With several copies, the nearest count.
Chain A
Amino acid sequence: ACGRDHGALACDGAPPADGTGAFGEAAEQAVIRAVFPEDATRRGLLARFGAAAVAGAISQFLPLGAAREALAQPAGAPEKKDLKIGFIPITCATPIIMAHPMGFYGRHGLNVEVIRTAGWAVIRDRSIAREYDAAHMLAPMPVAMSLGVGVAQPIPWAVAAVENINGQAITLANKHKDRRDPKQWKGFRFAVPFDFSMHNYLLRHYLAEHGLDPDRDVQIRAVPPPEMVANLRADNIDGYLGPDPFNQRAVFDGVGFIHILTKELWDGHPCCAFAVPRSMITETPNTFAALMRAIVEATAHSQKPENRREVATAISGQNYLNQPETVVNQVLTGTFADGLGQVRRVPDRIGFDPFPWHSMAIWILTQMRRWGQVQRDLDYAQVAQQTFLALDAGKAMRELGLPVPASATRTETIMGRPFDPAAPVGWTERAIRGA
């Protein structure tokens, strides 16, 4: 199928490391197709040598670099201006949401409607149905969808940008104030937003590190984030690893306390993603580029501490989060009541950094494997490359004058333990303590 429609990406197994991204791939693909119009021949070559090698070979006698450059230029007006973007009313969605009232979409020539949605399954289904042009998703969701895990067939969506880093917490019901050691948590019922979520993986990892088996010693169920406080209050769950503002809201209503911020588990972990269908990149490249710029710009704006109060005001209202402004404020400014009588000051409680590190994706994949969501062997680096569009995000960041990392991978530190994306295998075992 290489050479047909948006198949371009599929043929490019190893995108160049110089950061030309998806546009470049499309150009390269066009060239490969021009040189080998015969489908069978082309596929044979690609199968044998890989796209990178073929492209490399071709570039010996064709100005491939030039073609890539030309095609990669943002070519003016967006093909499609009226977009619908679904979101879940949580602070993770801050850039997506605040871009609306604060005019970031409009600035890039887009007319975006942001639609509050009731749960992650609905986000996924409406995305698959293309009722949404792009969506606020949990970072693992596009990965799972692309792998065909938790969906009926692989659906190629990608993380175009990370929405937020950190910003989650484990909240426990007030009655557990004296049980701060996870070893005492046997029999607890926990909620996470979705099976394919950082929350699920972080909670499981945290529990496992403290010697609990997340599948036997506790119950973990998927509850839409907005319903978490009500369920905690109703004693339907003992706690949750959930997104804000619902951790803070539990404190605000005297229902629970913040046991630990996820920042303290993995500083800089991704949470939510700005997800797009892969086809958007080839079908409406200008729209995609404009959207990327808007999101990256909004993310950068949200990151600045001096903007946080203003953002909180913009997104607290009925039309967006529908939460008391003071709650959203505490989340975004990091000066908050912890439910235990302390006022804590953690300015980087939540951060906004769009760059989709491949190392994040690789960790996500190890956890999918670890907890049985994926049962086959995967080429983690490949999948990370396909689903975390580091190159495109980097391009948009560069255009906006933001610093871009030189490599899409880095060593992460998770609960004090280094995670080397090049050697992920140890992290796929259920018990990694001893590993």
Chain B
Amino acid sequence: MHRTVPFWQQALLSALLLGLFLGAWELAAGRGGGGTGVAVDPEYAALLGQAAAQGGQTPFPRPSEIAVRLWELLRDPFYVRGTNDQGIGVQVAYSLLRVAAGFGLAALVAIPLGFLIGMSPLLSGALNPFIQVLRPVSPLAWMPLALFTIKDSAISSIFVIFICSVWPMLLNTAFGVQSVRREWLNVARTLEAGTLRTAFRVILPAAAPTILTGMRISIGIAWLVIVAAEMLVGGTGIGYWVWNQWNNLSLSDIVIAILLIGIVGLLLDRALGAVQRLVAWQD
């Protein structure tokens, strides 16, 4: 169960699976089979001025078409051609900025508050019911409320990121602080270390891996939520980009956006994973 398999075997199988999947897709889409069920009469289309070349157009884009489009988008990801037309890189940057703001704010609130909750069983018991009820509330249910009360869409988006990513950090910080080993606290006590010294030199580093686990969950949620929030609020961001491409039903762009969202999400996760490794300690 813990056997190790050479990396090249895994990579080969990965590549093989990817190849098979893309190949099957290319073929399936090429045959036009995966269509909409509404067979289009090419002559009808011709009457409407469709170029004959488009007779073979398929409803779902083929991987090769997507690759071409991807190349187009990535050749110039940061262009800004007016307010309604900006490169995909610009959109991702907008989303990342919002996530950074909301997530940063959440960390600023959650970590000190989590610390307090972790240290005080009373506070922990008293706040728990509220946390438990608010935690499962969907970000998009918050959005209308935020828009209405905050009256600023930029801050509303950030608030929604905030409110969704605050819970895992809060709970994990509290849990991490609660489960600092008694023996380390005893060491600090026998050394007559003061409250602040104990908090910063013992409890914080001891709880850091747990806190970072919470932050990692949070950033994942924040990234899920930003796309949803931007679809709803619009204006800029990768979520708005998806929304726009959906309105135009341009499937290649949506597939590309999905990939991009996945990859950026993965990178965010990896980045926090790296920080997590930095503060991790082994026993």
Contact = CB atoms under 8 A, between A and B. Distances in A.
B47 A216 contact: no
A214 B82 CA distance: 9
Interface stretch (B33-41, B126-134, B269-277): B33-41
A122 B49 contact: no
Nearest to A324: B49
B55 interface: yes
A223 B234 contact: yes
B50 A382 contact: no
Interface stretch (A18-26, A61-69, A163-171, A225-233): A225-233
B35 A379 contact: no
Interface stretch (B11-19, B103-111, B245-253): B245-253
A230 B83 contact: no
B231 A152 contact: no
A131 B153 contact: yes
Interface stretch (A263-271, A313-321, A411-419): A313-321
Given A226-B247, A323-B248, A233 B57 contact: yes
A231 B44 contact: no
Nearest to B245: A322
B248 A150 contact: yes
A351 interface: no
B83 A116 contact: yes
B81 A318 contact: yes
Interface stretch (B143-151, B167-175, B188-196): B143-151
A234 B234 contact: no
A219 B84 contact: yes
Given A1-B41, A131-B153, A253-B51, A236 B233 contact: yes
A10 B85 CA distance: 37
A214 to B, nearest CB: 8
B262 interface: no
Interface string B165-204: 0000000000000000000000000000000000000000
Contact of A230 (B40, B235, B240, B249): B249
B249 A151 contact: yes
Given A189-B235, A320-B84, A254 B147 contact: no
A330 B234 CA distance: 27
B49 A114 contact: no
B213 interface: no
A208 interface: no
Given A336-B47, A337-B47, A254 B55 contact: yes
Contacts of B55: 254
B43 A343 contact: yes
Contacts of A236: 147, 152-153, 156, 233-235
A408 interface: no
Interface string A374-394: 001111001100100000000
Contact of B247 (A9, A146, A194, A219): A194
Contact of A322 (B58, B59, B147, B248): B248
B49 A322 contact: no
A335 B43 CA distance: 10
Contacts of A89: 247
Interface in B1-46: 35-45
Given A116-B84, A125-B144, 6 more contacts: A9-B44, A129-B151, A152-B58, A216-B83, A230-B148, A317-B85
Give the 4 A-B residue pairs with the shortest CB-CB distance, closest first: A118-B234, A254-B52, A236-B153, A226-B247
Interface of B: 35-45, 47-52, 54-61, 81-85, 144, 147-148, 150-153, 156, 231-235, 240, 243-244, 246-251
24 contacts: A1-B44, A6-B41, A7-B43, A10-B47, A113-B83, A118-B233, A130-B38, A150-B248, A150-B249, A152-B249, A153-B59, A156-B41, A195-B247, A213-B82, A219-B235, A221-B244, A222-B244, A236-B152, A251-B48, A253-B249, A254-B48, A254-B51, A255-B58, A322-B248
